Chains A and B, each alone.
Chain A
Amino acid sequence: MGATVRVEASVNGERRVSETEARTLLVYWLRDELGLTGTHIGCDTSNCGACTVHLNGEAVKSCTVLAAQVDGAEVTTIEGLGRDGQLHPLQEAFWKHHGLQCGYCTPGMIMAAADLLARNPDPSEEDVRHGLEGNLCRCTGYHNIVKAVQEAARAREMAAVEVPGPPRETPQAGR
């Protein structure tokens, strides 16, 4: 093992501290050190987006971020998206509209979609398609993903709730 760094971050609202190899990527830190395996790895080149998480409320590809870079930051993964045992509206909508098949890209896709809705609460089909072009899905042809994201946007509008960024800043989302 090479040089190590201390990383302290808020992950899904919990304080996590570890001493990790300096070259460790955020995605491996989350998966191998914190056991948060819902975030997946699909490529070596930041093309597929399976590893998308929120860093200080914005979607990032966690294979392109070093664990060392999140020291002092807030990270949200798919495991932290739902609240109080309830699914987030995007999770509900993906389920309802069959927006997933093998499920491998799904956590990253949902995290990217949450970021999209935070920036654009009422996206057109075109907006959704372009907003998710950093995330690859081989199963669904994206058809039902687009439907799911648009439905979640409507549900969110109806409920007038925030799609969460970092947990501490966002009151009760996801009903």
Chain B
Amino acid sequence: MSIVEERTGGNGYVGQALRRKEDPRLITGSATYIDDLTLPGTLWAAIVRSPEAHARIVSIDTSAALERPDVEAVFTGEDLADLAAPTVFFWKPPGVEVKVPEHWPLARGKVGYVGQAVAVVLGTDRYSVVDAAEEVIVEYEPLPVVVDLESALEEGAPLVHDEYGTNNCFEWSLGGGDLDAAFEEADVIVERRLVNHRTAGAAIETRGCIAEWRADRLTLWSSTQIPHIARVVLSIQLGISEDRIRVVAPEVGGGFGSKLQVYGEEVLACYCSRRLNRPVKWIATRSEDMMTTHHGRDHVARVRLGAKRDGTLTAIHARILADLGSYHLIEGPVIPTFAACVISGCYRFSAVKCDVTGVFTNKFTTDAIRGAGRPEGIHDIEMAMDQLARELDMDPLELRRRNFLRKEEFPASLPHGVIYDSGDYDGALEKLLEHVDVDAFRREQAQLREQGIYRGIGFSCYVEICGLAPSRVLGPPGWGMQGGYFESAIVRVHPTGSVTAYTGTSPHGQGHETGFAQIVADKLGVSPDQVEVIHGDTNTGPFGKDTYGSRTAAVGGEAMARAADKVANKAKQIAAHKLEAAPEDIELRDGEFRVKGVPEKGMALGDIAGEAYIPVDLPEGMEPGLDETAFYDPENFTWPFGAHACMVDVDPETGKVEIVRYVAVDDCGPAINPMLIDGQIHGGLAHTIGQVLYEQVVYDSEGQLITGSFVDYALPTAAELPSFETDRTETPSPVNSLGVKGVGEAATIGSTPAIHSALLDALRPLGVEFVDLPLTPLRVWQAIQEARGEGGGPRASEQARDVGPQGQGPGFGPSAPEGGAL
């Protein structure tokens, strides 16, 4: 099925809102997700999980399960003693000690969170292995549990890992400029404690995998974002060389960071398959997924912001506590440090500092979820900026404008050592205000208030760090990630002129096949319909670094463009040879490689490919074939930005918040496919509206997960969300030839403070100064009651303490601005 109207070929596909190449299989039910695959002789795996948040394992009795006729094997942690290594952890920041407790696919002696895998049951029937898992008897000796992030650091708190003598996992800092002097210079200093609570990625497809050990080789099919990284990890944990491992990501039903992981179950399935010589399949139930697919956010930050009386910013200092849960997976602790990159937002400061303390608790691991540190960082600074504006009695947008880095200042070196590539923050805000008439809104707001309707508006201006790469910054000597962050691509022209392009990135809904086909089509003068994009299989292309950190376009797209450029250059040489012209006189026009100024002398890609594969008359010394590989490692990150406005209505009788209007202006550089960009913005907005208004991963004081299903974890439905208004500015990045910056996470980063600020604006006439996230009806209603002096039952914080949700310890009241203006 064609995605373009006419198959003219040639230039101009980049920038068009083409329909996706992926969709025909997806809308007809013919795509192949992990659970759609089953191999002959497959054994199903069911996991026995800990009901205790912290306990010693006294005994495990597997005999009843093993007696069942359809059960082939049951393994416990002890049975896996021959695994080569525990979970591989990739972050070793130079000069910083990060405590890395051993984390095995099946617990050894002790459990540290509810849901930790203790045993695996393998059998021939999908249903009966679940029955058998119920019959594995595990005796636990419960240990004291610590759930709250801040309490975990208090003297005498229960220890998640005795051997460390503390729950403090690491302390990391990034800063620059003379912080003391810059605060000294300030006339006004505001402080704000900000909570960015724990959330779930909640892809609609749960995790799952199939492992097959056959002929001394391993294949793992997994619903993962990172097949290439998974192969490295499997090699280390299983002690098998990489050449004998193939990892395939089939159609992946959403990731949002939650499948940027190599989970214990993937290693376990491989191990069991090797041991039993049968394919092993495991598909998570939703409850398993909520319990043991990594969570995100879970920060408490204290932000201190200094400015002169005229609004000129001088210094920012953020101290972030990050809840890591009890064990790490591949990289969780590095995620909060990404908040530091953007902690100074779009603004000029003379000093910037961000301290991050990672904390162990008896909860599941946190790691990257869409935005991954940047939504928290931008929430921190933008909420502090609003508070500063009020303190200075200044228009919050005027305060922002006064401190924006100007477009002529880019590339801009910031005090804490990061270099923003390009930006036009004034331009994005100006564009936003073309859509939002603030004066008209204020008039409407006043009228509505007379009718008892509380409407508020909130703004945010954001910048984000994307295009994860470059290796020399992110890698071992810099940030300390133990890996390279290049990307790879192959562009392979077939003998009759159609094209297969291989990318090292690995999609889960973004539309890589369409966007990359557009890039290649333009470079080679063919239609995107003639370009097939292959991904997610370690045996088909070169080693790649997969998809996360909004890196697909900015790193993978550039690698693809470079591979296509190499092919185009060779094609030009062949065309020049055949057409008796100089290679520099060959141009790509209307789908043909033509001699400039002589339109009748030209060759289509298929003709050139024919020459390349029947190599009887190629230029002297040229190799046959039309097939090129590129590896690309950028010089810098890319820094998308934008300006968002949110308008909400709050019902003071119920505390319910409704989004009335949302306007997003985002700049991710020139569009490859504007339809895909809008789609990413819509999805990111919904994700954050969900987080801010509805969603929270909640544990009680015993470490029991209360939000273990979609009944309790409130993903927004269509009925809770508005249609969104989106617009763009396009400021090219100088980092790559396409000028693109990345957009997958943008909306989650820009929107948290806009929504939060809109709510506070709506509540101000009711005397409410501050409410912590999430802005659930209960918390909002209680804040209103408290401001009215009407009590209204237990405060959200107190009620929270009764059931003890994580991150809701003392001091989490709906009011509680700590410090305020000094």
Contact = CB atoms under 8 A, between A and B. Distances in A.
Contacts of B255: 102
B19 A136 contact: no
Contact of A87 (B27, B201, B711): B27
A33 to B, nearest CB: 12
Nearest to B36: A37
B718 A128 contact: yes
B336 interface: no
Q: Which of A50, A87, A142 gathers the greatest number of chain B CB atoms within 10 Å?
A: A142
B710 A43 contact: yes
A16 interface: no
A168 interface: no
Contacts of A134: 717
A45 B27 contact: no
Interface residues of A, number: 58
B31 interface: yes
Given A48-B204, A104-B204, A138 B678 contact: no
Interface string A10-54: 000000000001010000100110001111111111011010000
Given A101-B679, A133-B719, A42 B286 contact: yes
B509 A78 contact: no
B256 A78 contact: no
Given A78-B28, A104-B254, A141 B711 contact: no
B675 A139 contact: no
A78 B251 CA distance: 17
A30 to B, nearest CB: 10
Given A138-B203, A142-B721, A104 B286 contact: no
Contact of A139 (B31, B128, B254, B286): B254
B29 A78 contact: yes
Interface residues on B, range: 35 or more
A138 B256 contact: yes
Contacts of A45: 286, 709-711
A95 B203 contact: no
Q: Which of B29, B251, B511, B724 gathers the greatest number of chain A CB atoms within 10 Å?
A: B29
A1 interface: yes
Nearest to A94: B27
A50 to B, nearest CB: 6
Interface string B4-28: 0000000000000001101111111
A138 B204 contact: yes
B286 A44 contact: yes
Interface string A126-146: 001110111111111111111
Nearest to B283: A41
Given A44-B709, A136-B204, A101 B683 contact: yes
Given A36-B29, A45-B709, A50 B204 contact: yes
A113 B432 CA distance: 33
B654 interface: no
B715 A138 contact: yes
A11 to B, nearest CB: 13
B29 A38 contact: yes
A146 B27 contact: no
A105 interface: yes
A125 interface: yes
B709 A133 contact: no
Given A133-B717, A138-B202, A98 B676 contact: yes
A57 interface: no
A137 B718 CA distance: 8
A78 B28 CA distance: 6
A79 B679 CA distance: 25
A137 B253 CA distance: 10
B742 to A, nearest CB: 16
B510 to A, nearest CB: 7
B209 interface: no
B687 A103 contact: no
Nearest to B688: A141
B19 A133 contact: no
Nearest to B22: A103
A39 B29 contact: yes
Given A38-B30, A132-B717, A142-B721, A102 B686 contact: no
Given A44-B287, A139-B509, A140-B686, 5 more contacts: A39-B29, A91-B28, A101-B510, A103-B251, A106-B27
28 contacts: A1-B128, A21-B127, A40-B35, A40-B204, A41-B35, A43-B710, A44-B709, A48-B204, A79-B30, A94-B27, A95-B19, A101-B509, A102-B203, A102-B204, A102-B255, A102-B508, A103-B27, A103-B31, A105-B253, A132-B717, A135-B718, A136-B715, A139-B683, A141-B682, A141-B686, A141-B687, A141-B724, A142-B721
7 interchain residue pairs of minimum CB distance: A38-B29, A104-B253, A102-B509, A103-B26, A141-B686, A101-B509, A141-B682
Interface of A: 1, 21, 23, 28, 31-32, 36-45, 47-48, 50, 77-79, 81-82, 87, 91, 94-96, 98, 100-107, 110, 125, 128-130, 132-146
